[in-house]
Amino acid sequence: MPATIWIGNIHFGTISVPVKLHTAVSQDRVEFHLLHKTDRVRLRQQMICALEKTPIPAEEQVKGFRLEERKYVLIAPADLEQAEPEGGREIAVHEFVAAGEIDPVYRERTYFLEPGEAPAGYAALAAALWEMKAEGICTWVMRKRAYLGALASGGKTLRLGVLRYADEVIPAGSLGLEDFSLSEKELEIGAQLIDRLSVPFQPGKYADEHQGKLRRLLERKARGEKISLLQPRQLRHTEGGKLLAALEASLKAAK
Amino acid sequence: MRTKKKEGTAEAGKAVSPEKAAATGLWSGTVSFSLVAIPVRLVKAVEPGRVSFHLLHNKDYSPVKRAMFCPGEGAAVPPEEIVRGYELEPGKHLMVTDEELESVAPERSRTIEIAEFIDLREVDPLYFDHPYYLVPLKGGEKSYRLLAEALRRTNKAGLAKFVLGEREYLVTVRSKDGALALSTLHYSAELLADAQYAPGKAADEKEKNAVKKCVKEMLGGFTPGKYSDVRRKKLLALLKKKAGGAQVQAPELEGEPAEGVADLVAALEESMSRMKGAR
């Protein structure tokens, strides 16, 4: 069982359920080190003083907030402590929303919740949220940070997903996209094409094949074989005037 | 199994993660479905709302910056002198170039080829990893618009794989407020089982119904703007108070390009109004 990350108490109304947070994702990938090209020495990350160009130990570093170029106010650890949200063990649920109402852009990592000590109510909460397809919008303080999250159920097990704060999401409107008029015919064929190519989501179908390929390349290289360099495939872009023809040909091919 | 990204791997030093690629506008390529190919650029969709501090050296108040340091030479190494190495045995590395990495999957390194479309509501939220936007490049505006609008009408999302740096990403492409939004997904093999945490006893019916009643009473719509980061709010208030106090000055540095002058009051007001606007 992966280690417990944090222990807390889900709370709303008269309900209180103790839980332990566990990680939900485990990634195992080929790892690389960074080397210095000239002497092949492994590089280390260090904090370097811009003036002295030497590594600076943590105890010689101070935090500053930049007012203008080269001018700072120093922020002492005590100042930062003042700004710390009040800790505690409570995961306070403020309201419930229908699952699916939360735009994926808000979703960050998810934790699995293990029932804590005397977990009366855990099973009932997990079953109720699962059957109602509802998620609880909640806040809690963990490791000196205030989190917003969504409490949900995976059936029998509860989950706590971290949500981003609204002002951390960049609105699509700020991208400066131009409106382009499309003909009804183009849109209709585009929609038909999408419907025709639609499948149920079966995540198990998609494996990370790349890791295996990468490992094989490394093995060949280690044996001293020459690696032939392949050019990335570049597709010819569809010009606006040829869009309708491309869509029609696509639809034909998808039949 | 490792669950944490290790620092000091290629990600830390080179622009290879989508996050870095999006921040620097590094990745551009093609998103395609069937015979339609759209030139696009990857940009970020979220910006952590951290109040950013600079680390300074307490002796001369000059900035302290994270750098890749060569213990052999005793000096920081510029990005162009950094290469990836795969450790064969302790101290012995195989050097791997960007071109070699691209050769592992040349068909996917510049193309996000959507072969299938799915209903995004079928995707368990556990799968979502990191969000981005795609922005059309010159000449791709019309087909970009078409894909965005057709996805909106059908309420579907494209599913594709693409390769960036040393990793292959499973991604969805959907329509969001007129733009194409891309999310990287976890592979199902990366997700752990949650059955190990399920309580032994089944839910008590009476208890479950009581919880349901309570949930129903608290049912509302999702309005994320109602909640703001308490810590960030406190920090900004603190900075406003401190800005009038003692200041320190960093030395002038040679050959250092001058960074834009940040007006504290303007910066603070902007942050505040963003928080208010979000509320």
Alpha carbon distance B98, B96 (integer Å): 7
pLDDT band at B186 (very low <50, low <70, confident <90, very high): very high
Check residue B268 and give its pLDDT. Answer: 44
Tell whether B72 is covered by a domain: no
pLDDT at B9 over 70: no
Given the cut 0.95, state whether the ipTM is greater than it: no
Query: Is B76 touching A (CB cutoff 8 A)?
Result: yes
- B23 chain-A contacts, CB cut-off 8 A: none
Q: Which of B144, B171, B188 is the last residue of a domain?
A: B188
CATH at residue B40:
2.40.290.10
Structure tokens at B72: 């052999």
Check residue A84 and give its pLDDT. Answer: 86
Same domain for B232 and B150: no
Tell whether B77 is covered by a domain: no
Secondary structure of residue B260 in the 3-state scheme: coil
Query: Is B195 touching A (CB cutoff 8 A)?
Result: yes
- CA B161 to each of CA A61, B18, B91: distance values in angstroms, whole numbers, following the listed order: 42, 13, 34
Q: Which DSSP symbol is given to A42?
A: B
The count of domains in chain B is 2
Check residue B267 and give its pLDDT. Answer: 45
Nearest CB neighbour to B278, from listed A74, A167, A204: A167
Same domain for B232 and B105: no
Mean pLDDT of B143-161: 97
* Residuewise pLDDT in 10s, chain A (255 residues): 789 999 999 999 989 999 999 999 998 888 899 999 998 899 999 999 989 889 999 999 999 988 888 889 898 888 888 888 888 899 999 999 999 899 999 999 999 999 998 778 999 999 999 999 999 999 999 998 999 999 999 999 999 999 999 999 999 999 999 888 899 999 999 999 999 999 999 999 998 889 899 999 999 999 999 888 988 888 899 998 999 999 999 999 987
Tell whether B237 is covered by a domain: yes
Greater confidence (B242 vs A32) lies with A32
Backbone angles phi, psi at A126, to 5 degrees: -60, -45
Question: Which amino acid, A147?
Answer: Y
Same domain for B100 and B235: no
- CB contact under 8 Å between B218 and A52, yes or no, is no
Same domain for B27 and B141: yes
Q: In what order do the strands lie in the sheet with A71-75?
A: B54-57, A61-68, A71-75, B248-249
Same domain for B155 and B27: yes
- CB contact under 8 Å between B100 and A217, yes or no, is yes
Q: Over B96-158, what HEC string results?
A: ECHHHHHHHCCCCCCEEEECEEECHHHCCHHHEEEEEEEEECCCCHHHHHHHHHHHHHHCCEE
**Structural domains in chain A?**
6-26+84-167 (2.40.290.10)
- CB contact under 8 Å between A179 and B183, yes or no, is no
Radius of gyration of chain A (CA): 26
How high is the mean pLDDT of chain B?
83
Could you list the residue range(s) of the whole structural domain that residue B172 is in?
13-53+85-188
Same domain for B92 and B41: yes
CA distance B146 to chain A (A): 6
Backbone angles phi, psi at B219, to 5 degrees: -75, 130
Query: Is B246 touching A (CB cutoff 8 A)?
Result: yes
Same domain for B176 and B126: yes
Count CA within 13 A, CB hemisphere, residue B49: 27
Q: Using CA coordinates, name the residue in chain B closest to A220.
A: B94
Check residue B25 and give its pLDDT. Answer: 63
Tell whether B58 is covered by a domain: no
pLDDT band at B1 (very low <50, low <70, confident <90, very high): very low
Number of Cβ atoms within 10 Å of the Cβ of B252: 11
Positive or negative: CA dihedral B20, B26, B32, B36: positive
Tell whether B24 is covered by a domain: yes
Q: Using a pLDDT cut of 70, give the percent of chain B over it.
A: 82
Nearest CB neighbour to A45, from listed B8, B93, B238: B8
Give the tens place of pLDDT for each residue, B10-41.
333 344 567 666 665 668 899 999 999 999 99
Alpha carbon distance A149, A163 (integer Å): 5
Task: Give pTM, 2 decimals.
Answer: 0.85
Q: Are strands A90-98 and A6-12 parallel, antiparallel or unpaired?
A: parallel
Same domain for B110 and B156: yes
Measured at the alpha carbon of residue B34, what is the angle toward residues B33 and B39, in degrees to the nearest 5? 45
Same domain for B267 and B175: no
Query: Is B225 touching A (CB cutoff 8 A)?
Result: yes
Q: Which of A17, A11, A25, A2 is nearest to A140 (CA)?
A: A11
Q: Is A243 in contact with B143 (CB distance < 8 Å)?
A: yes
Same domain for B104 and B225: no
- B53 chain-A contacts, CB cut-off 8 A: 63-65, 75
Tell whether B231 is covered by a domain: yes
Nearest CB neighbour to A56, from listed B57, B131, B177: B57
Same domain for B223 and B176: no
Tell whether B114 is covered by a domain: yes
Q: Is A148 in contact with A163 (CB distance < 8 Å)?
A: yes
Mean pLDDT of B250-267: 56
Greater confidence (B251 vs A28) lies with B251
Give the tens place of pLDDT for each residue, B57-107.
999 999 998 899 999 888 999 888 999 999 999 889 999 988 888 888 888
Query: Is B188 touching A (CB cutoff 8 A)?
Result: yes
Instruction: List helix spans (H) across chain A.
Output: 77-83, 122-132, 184-196, 209-222, 243-254
Mean pLDDT of B121-133: 95
Same domain for B92 and B37: yes
Q: Which of B170, B188, B206 is the last residue of a domain?
A: B188
